[in-house]
Amino acid sequence: MADKKKKKNKSKGITIFLIIGLLIAFFLLSVGYIVFEFNRISYFNLSLKNDWRGYLAYITKNIPVVNDMIKYEYLEIGNPIANQKDIIEQRIKYMEDQNLQLEAKKEELNKLMNDISIQTEELTKQKLELEKNQQDFQKQLDEFNDYNSRINKLSAWLSSSTPQEIANALIRDEVSVQLIVDSFYTMDSGVVAEILQAIAQVNPEKAAKIIATLGEKRGE
């Protein structure tokens, strides 16, 4: 008798355990289904978390006085696929506009780079021309300084020479009139007069050319 009662209690415990297990399983399935439905509702651009005010307005719309304070309006969901399509099309259009803007900026940048390249070539050309002009000027300056140095030395030699003796050398064809004139310009006028007088005594024609050239120089 005791064994039979014990078996009966054991069977009852198993049954209760199974019932509790089924209830827990049903609860878990229900929660999972509710979450699943919430996710589906969110696909229609609805949010239960943020729409509680709308729910309160809905349940109080028929209560006097309160319904004047809270207004409930039905929200039309529309076609979610069409909504998503519009969003995608807007996004594509935005990306296309951005791409056009980038292409325009790229074209402007290429034009700017081309202008910079042309200006760089022009500046390089001008720099080379300037360097060449500087080299030519420096060459002419060196030649001028060298010529002046030789003229000064020649003038010193002429000044220290005897006019009658130096005149015989100056009348030779190897000595140009221009060289004599340039030397005379750096010498004392008294010494120049004595040398000219000595040249005139041995070669009046060359003396006349020297005097004429001296006059031309003074007239410039």
Q: Which residue has the higher pLDDT, 61 or 182?
A: 182
What percent of the chain has a predicted confidence (pLDDT) above 70? 70
Please report, as a single letter, which amino acid is at residue 171.
I
Q: What is the pLDDT of residues 10-37, one digit of tens each?
A: 677 778 878 888 888 888 877 776 666 6
Q: Predicted confidence band at 64 (pLDDT cuts at 50, 70, 90)?
A: low
Average pLDDT, the chain: 78
Reading the block at residue 79, the tokens are 């076609």
150-188 b/e (C-beta count within 10 Å ≥ 16 → b): ebeebbeebeeeebeebbeebbeeeeebeebbbbbeebe
Dihedral sign for Cα atoms in the order 178, 181, 187, 192? positive
Helix H or strand E encompassing 153: helix 80-160
Q: Which residue has the higher pLDDT, 53 or 161?
A: 161
Q: Predicted confidence band at 219 (pLDDT cuts at 50, 70, 90)?
A: very low
Q: What is the pLDDT of residues 195-217, one digit of tens each?
A: 889 888 988 898 888 888 887 74
The domain spans of the chain are 78-143, 161-219
